[in-house]
Amino acid sequence: MSESLSAVVTGFKAPTELWRVPLPQIEPSSALIRVEAATLCGTDAHRWMGHFTEGGGDQPFLQPLSLPYIPGHETCGTIVETGGNIVDVLNEPLKPGDRIISSYAHCGHCYYCRISTQTTLCHDVKSYGHSHPNRLMGGCSEYHYFPPGALFIRVPDNVASEIAASAACALRTVMHSFEQLGPIASHETVLIQGCGPLGLYALAVAKDRGARNVLVIGAPKPRLAVAEQWGADHVLDLSEVADPAARVQWVRDLTYGRGADIVLNCANSHALVEGLRMTRPGGRLVQVGISGAGDIPVAPKLLFRGVQIISTVMAEARHFYQAIDFVSTRQKYFDFQKLISNSYPLDRLTEALQAMSEFREVKPVIVPRLSKELQG
Ligand SMILES: [Zn+2]
Ligand SMILES: [Zn+2]
């Protein structure tokens, strides 16, 4: 073992290439894993389409994207080599053969790391799925490097690798959102906008935290069916109700005319305005992650309703831990496999990215091998 077969994006919207990448030098307190499963999320599709080439300006944690890179930031794998003695996030020793996911390393000495302790906003956060192939920090690859400063979360035996991988982005972000949101009282109604992986995980956590009612607005039908199986009290098919005012009315009819106490926008960020209308005066609205481009026009009077607006950027190591613990201990209530829509070998990554960009996939898993016809 001296190199890794990796799928590499060398041009935006272009077919990905298979490269043999030399394995990196293992630094102290780092880990090299053999990838078991890498799941894709909307961000991977946006990156492949060239939407994130500029970076964030005054948001340095939104790093500019340059070619070439190995996609995939939701990765679960088995340790093959460590840089000396390493431990997991609970300070338990890790060794080759252990299955883990990893949080992102941050610099440890900027304002966000030391003073505000919001490390996902660090100026030098080392996230995965967008760096040069030689760094081997993307999931669509046989091997993945977790650099010094990353914190490792052990995956319990009862959690499938593709579920652990999906927890390493969608669910850990949702866990961060619920932490920022604070407690949910037993009389409160939660509305979830969107029923992709973020929305479905948000539904599961809202049910788990004791919301009185959870409403879900989304499409297409198979995803809404999963929402119902996972305990959504009411669902609205976005494709059947095209009028935003009618959707707002649907929420008000189910909330004594007030609107939802809590709204989580897990859909396109532009749905925020509709979400504000669906939030009761004095309620709470969480923008979970980011999707979409351009500006969002908001009428000033919509801001004069006392709604607390929160936005979530990625997640810290404790949220990764909470996410893994959740999928391990709540699988008897929620069939998490329903999120996984398809499986692709490395040489068919382009198809998976194309399907994601056209919303034909929910959560595809990329397995680090070649199609049968290319093997041997
Ligand atoms: Zn920092
Ligand atoms: Zn993601």
Non-local (6+) Cβ contacts of 320 within 8 A are: 89, 101, 102, 103, 151, 153, 167, 168, 172
Stretch 299-325: mean pLDDT: 96
Q: What is the DSSP string of 268-335?
A: -GGGHHHHHHHEEEEEEEEEES----S-----HHHHTT--EEEEE-S--HHHHHHHHHHHHHSTTTS-
Higher pLDDT, 55 or 137: 137
Higher pLDDT, 353 or 289: 353
Length of the chain: 376
Contact 190, 214 (CB under 8 A): yes
| 110 CA from centroid of ligand 1 (Å) | 4
For the chain, residues classed under CATH 3.40.50.720 are 173-312
Phi and psi of 200, rounded to 5°?
A: -70, -45
Inform me whether the pLDDT recorded for 221 exceeds 70. Answer: yes
Return d(Cα 197, Cα 215) in angstroms, integer: 16
| 47 CA from centroid of ligand 2 (Å) | 11
Residue (of 66, 72, 58) closest to 112 by Cα position? 58
The CATH fold assigned to 173-312 is Rossmann fold (3.40.50)
Contact 263, 275 (CB under 8 A): yes
| 319 CA from centroid of ligand 2 (Å) | 14
**Is the previous residue joined to 68 through a cis bond, with omega within 30 degrees of 0?**
yes
Q: Tell me what pLDDT residue 54 has.
A: 72
| 112 CA from centroid of ligand 1 (Å) | 6
| 103 CA from centroid of ligand 2 (Å) | 12
Q: Which ligand is nearest to the CA of 122?
A: 1
| 111 CA from centroid of ligand 1 (Å) | 7
Inform me whether the pLDDT recorded for 376 exceeds 70. Answer: no
For the chain, residues classed under CATH 3.90.180.10 are 3-158+331-374
| 41 CA from centroid of ligand 2 (Å) | 5
Under the banding of pLDDT at 50, 70 and 90, the label for residue 63 is confident
Token pair belonging to 170: 């969608």
* Residue 335: how many other CB atoms lie within 10 Å: 11
Stretch 224-232: mean pLDDT: 97
Mean pLDDT across the chain, nearest whole number?
Answer: 94
Under the banding of pLDDT at 50, 70 and 90, the label for residue 56 is low
| 314 CA from centroid of ligand 2 (Å) | 9
Q: Which ligand is nearest to the CA of 120?
A: 1
Helix or strand holding residue 4 (H, E): strand 3-8
Helix or strand holding residue 357 (H, E): helix 349-357
Contact 285, 309 (CB under 8 A): yes
Phi and psi of 198, rounded to 5°?
A: -60, -50
| 119 CA from centroid of ligand 1 (Å) | 6
Contact 43, 368 (CB under 8 A): no
Under the banding of pLDDT at 50, 70 and 90, the label for residue 60 is low
Least confident of 47-56, 99-108, 175-184, 289-298: 47-56
Inform me whether the pLDDT recorded for 73 exceeds 90. Answer: yes
Contact 158, 183 (CB under 8 A): no
Least confident of 23-27, 61-65, 148-152, 305-309: 61-65
The amino acid that residue 83 corresponds to is: G
Q: Which ligand is nearest to the CA of 196?
A: 2
Under the banding of pLDDT at 50, 70 and 90, the label for residue 294 is confident
- Find the helix packing angle between 317-329 and 172-181, rounded to 10°: 110
| 73 CA from centroid of ligand 2 (Å) | 6
Q: Tell me what pLDDT residue 375 has.
A: 76
Inform me whether the pLDDT recorded for 363 exceeds 70. Answer: yes
Angstrom distances, CA of residue 109 to CA of 89, 106, 181, 318: 20, 9, 27, 19
Helix or strand holding residue 355 (H, E): helix 349-357
Angstrom distances, CA of residue 135 to CA of 6, 145, 201, 234, 284: 11, 7, 31, 46, 41
Inform me whether the pLDDT recorded for 55 exceeds 80. Answer: no
Residue (of 72, 75, 76, 56) closest to 64 by Cα position? 56
Return d(Cα 196, Cα 50) in angstroms, integer: 22
Strands (E), 17-58: 17-22, 31-39
Looking at 3.50.50.60, 3.30.70.100, 3.40.50.1820, 3.90.180.10, the CATH number of the domain 3-158+331-374 comes to 3.90.180.10
Q: Which ligand is nearest to the CA of 113?
A: 1
| 169 CA from centroid of ligand 2 (Å) | 5
Under the banding of pLDDT at 50, 70 and 90, the label for residue 61 is low
Inform me whether the pLDDT recorded for 129 exceeds 90. Answer: yes
